[in-house]
Amino acid sequence: MNLIRFGTQKVDASETCKRFNVIAPHEIAKSYFPFMKATYEEIKAADPDARVIGLSVTEDFGVKTGQFVKEMLQAGGAKYMDIASFHPYTSRELSSIAPADAMIAEFRQLFAEAGDKNKPIWNTELYYLIDQQVKHDSYEEGLIRPHHIAMRFLIDLGEGVVQSISVHENQL
């Protein structure tokens, strides 16, 4: 936590271990909870005003997020994150097989069931904005248009997501 304590720039928010539910799919919540708790406590000890982003779940590679989130919240994980984040790779669009609005509603519902219905939710990663298979530096990457970016921002805004994705220059 020296970065937070001694860095020259104030760290506003720190995301703890992206996509952990994919990294350790068989012991996900059991393995992630102690890491998330310790990280939260260290960050807050260094800077009580810093915000800690937890979960950072994704459904890449067919991994489902619901059970992971539920187990984390049942273990008391909500109190060790100021913000909950997700990466909606299977829920990119309203017309996706897993529609974007339904995915966000389910994510929010899990927090409501755990008694934390007002937890801020952030979309912290979505490089591929359309459901079509897209590879870096490919023809398909050129199919992404500004309206796709606007559409995703509007989906997140409409569903109450506090912070939407940042846009990389290759997405324009």
For 129-166, write each residue's pLDDT tens digit.
666 665 555 555 566 677 878 888 899 999 999 988 76
Contacts of 142 (CB under 8 A, 6+ apart): none
pLDDT tens for 74-103 read 888 899 999 999 888 777 778 888 888 999
How many angstroms separate the CA atoms of 67 and 126, rounded?
A: 21
Q: Are strands 13-15 and 121-123 parallel, antiparallel or unpaired?
A: unpaired
Give, in order, the Cα–Cα distances in Å from 146 to each of 23, 149, 157. Answer: 32, 5, 17
Task: Give the pair of three-digit tokens for residue 170.
Answer: 């290759």
Q: With a threshold of 0.85, does the pTM exceed it?
A: no
| Residue 159 confidence (pLDDT) | 92
